[in-house]
């Protein structure tokens, strides 16, 4: 990201007072690797900003200073932050990166904590089940000073699959309220690897799916934030918190705007249902492309990641259900994994050639192939003087800090040999890595940095 792009984001964030947050942890190291922040402006466009914590620039660079300025504007005391889960717990590991001040001064609203109460309240105020049900409940709320009338329940929508006070999953919340499905298969991924196409070692398909998931997971939290935070039950709960206030009901989130964003990518579980989800704040609305029409060409750098219908879910075939089907709101839905298995069983299984080889023959072929590949590991390489106490772990961490797209690293006497992917990566690394980056002074400096 360039400093000009960050300056555009800073100017945009100055006019926003509501944000949605999400975080992702790396599959192998289990440490926080990605922070997603969606801006919720009064007018379009909105942005989803991805911060890769393991690929941040050095602290003395202009880009890092602008990133800190961006976090400072987002975490102002008059801003509202929405998250699906305890945001302070999720962001606490990022304190060591010195991106923002701790503790966070903004008002934080945990949508997951209050969603169960809102869903129970919404079932007792269903507009489809009975038009007089709402008026009946309002009278009882005034007389009995309660938000939920146990005698009046919705009969046209599914009851909560969770127990009282039990926390909902984000995927189930979207299914039960909107009959929409979001794929969570990319939750456990290698988020420590760079998502930048110029430096990523991930395949194009995997990287696109991870970006798609990171963006729409944040969209879903924003979409559910307004109804879950404006019901009488959740409002009373939020007002009792030290960091929340009573004017949450006046939030500026536009449900039509975020419905358009999500519907462009997610499809309804059943298209032939006669029962529309009429829970007041999550009513199904017509789809349009207003979001993508109002984004100008000079802002394409921030919005090109949101590609509608690129990875949308396919419609469910109710005529070909197997034993692994499950029901959501009286509609059948087939698990993706079992659907793939069903397709593979219908195909004629032809044994591959390598299955006819013996184990020793396969080992010989793999050894020959690896020997050939090793010859090209350092076809594009650079050398740097290095202090022998540097471990390979520290070397790789420093290369990631400098965003060097390396393939292999090994010591070559008193020098460090770094293999790069291509000529462009070699030229970029040659200019980015100082000659003294691995000397004795740098060793003690980075040793203290990595111990924090």
Residue range 305-340, pLDDT digits in tens: 444 444 444 444 444 444 444 444 444 444 444 444
Please indicate, yes or no, whether residues 208 and 229 belong to a single structural domain of this protein.
Answer: yes
Same domain, 288 and 300: yes
Q: Residue 60 region, left (φ>0) first, then alpha (ψ -120 to 50), else beta?
A: alpha
- pLDDT for position 255: 46
249 in any annotated domain: yes
pTM over 0.75: no
H helical segments located in 294-347: 300-303, 336-346
pLDDT on residue 330: 45
In the block, tokens 């609305």 appear at 285
Q: What's the pLDDT score for residue 51?
A: 94
Stretch among 143-157, 225-239, 254-268, 353-367 having the lowest mean pLDDT: 254-268
To the nearest whole percent, how much of the chain has pLDDT over 90? 19
**Any idea which residue has 């919340």 for tokens?**
173
Nearest to 270 by CA among 197, 351, 350, 332: 332
Three-class SS of residue 409? strand
Distance, in Å, from the CA atom of 451 to the CA atom of 338, rounded to the nearest integer, reads: 45
What is the residue range of 23's domain? Answer: 3-110
Q: Given 110, 131, 149, which residue is the final one in a domain? A: 110
Co-location of 19 and 143 in the same domain = no
314 contacts 340 by C-beta, under 8 angstroms: no
Last residue of a domain, one of 301, 316, 331: 316
Q: Alpha-carbon distance 450 to 452, whole Å?
A: 6
Most confident of 59-73, 282-296, 330-344, 403-417: 59-73
Residues 282 and 156 in one domain: yes
C-alpha closest to that of 275 among 157, 376, 151? 157
Q: How far apart are CA 384 and CA 414, in angstroms?
A: 9
Check whether residue 165 and residue 298 sit in a common domain. Answer: yes
Pick the residue with more confidence: 88 or 230?
88
Residue 404 and residue 274 share a domain: no
Q: Does one domain contain both 385 and 309? A: no
Mean local confidence (pLDDT), 265-283: 37
Number of domains making up the chain = 3
């Amino acid at each position: 990201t360039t400093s000009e792009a960050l300056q555009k984001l800073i100017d945009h964030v100055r006019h926003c007072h509501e944000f949605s947050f999400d975080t992702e942890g790396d599959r192998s190291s289990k440490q926080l690797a990605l922070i997603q922040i969606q801006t919720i402006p009064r007018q379009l466009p909105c942005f989803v900003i991805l911060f890769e914590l393991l690929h941040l620039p050095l602290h003395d660079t202009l880009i890092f200073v602008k990133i800190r300025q961006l976090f400072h504007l987002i975490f102002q005391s008059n801003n509202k932050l929405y998250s699906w889960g305890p945001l302070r717990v999720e962001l606490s590991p990022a304190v060591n990166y010195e991106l923002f001040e701790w503790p966070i001064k903004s008002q934080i609203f945990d949508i997951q904590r209050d969603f169960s109460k809102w869903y129970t309240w919404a079932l007792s105020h269903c507009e489809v089940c009975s038009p007089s049900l709402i008026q009946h409940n309002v009278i009882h709320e005034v007389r009995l000073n309660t938000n939920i009338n146990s005698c009046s329940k919705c009969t046209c929508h599914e009851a909560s699959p969770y127990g009282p006070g039990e926390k909902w999953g984000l995927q189930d919340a979207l299914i039960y309220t909107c009959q929409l499905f979001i794929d969570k298969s990319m939750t456990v991924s290698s988020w420590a690897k760079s998502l930048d196409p110029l430096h990523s070692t991930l395949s194009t398909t995997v990287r696109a799916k991870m970006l798609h998931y990171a963006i729409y997971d944040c969209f879903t939290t924003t979409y559910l934030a307004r109804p879950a935070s404006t019901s009488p039950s959740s409002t009373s709960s939020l007002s009792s918190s030290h960091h929340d206030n009573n004017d949450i009901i006046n939030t500026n989130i536009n449900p039509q705007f975020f419905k358009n964003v999500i519907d462009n990518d997610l499809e309804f579980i059943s298209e032939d249902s006669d029962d529309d989800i009429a829970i007041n704040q999550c009513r199904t609305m017509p789809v349009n492309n207003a979001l993508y029409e109002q984004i100008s060409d000079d802002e394409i750098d921030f919005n090109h990641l949101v590609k509608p219908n690129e990875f949308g879910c396919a419609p469910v075939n109710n005529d070909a259900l197997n034993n692994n089907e499950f029901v959501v709101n009286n509609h059948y839905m087939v698990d993706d994994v079992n659907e793939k298995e069903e397709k593979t069983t219908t195909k004629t299984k032809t044994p591959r050639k390598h299955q006819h080889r013996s184990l020793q023959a396969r080992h010989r072929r793999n050894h020959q192939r690896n020997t050939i590949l090793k010859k090209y590991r350092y076809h594009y390489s650079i050398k740097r003087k290095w202090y022998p106490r540097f471990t390979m772990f520290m070397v790789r961490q420093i290369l990631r800090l400098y965003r060097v797209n390396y393939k292999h690293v090994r010591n070559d006497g008193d020098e460090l040999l770094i293999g790069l992917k291509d000529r462009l990566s070699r030229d970029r690394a040659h200019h980015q890595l100082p000659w003294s980056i691995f000397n004795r002074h740098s060793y003690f400096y980075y040793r203290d940095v990595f111990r924090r």
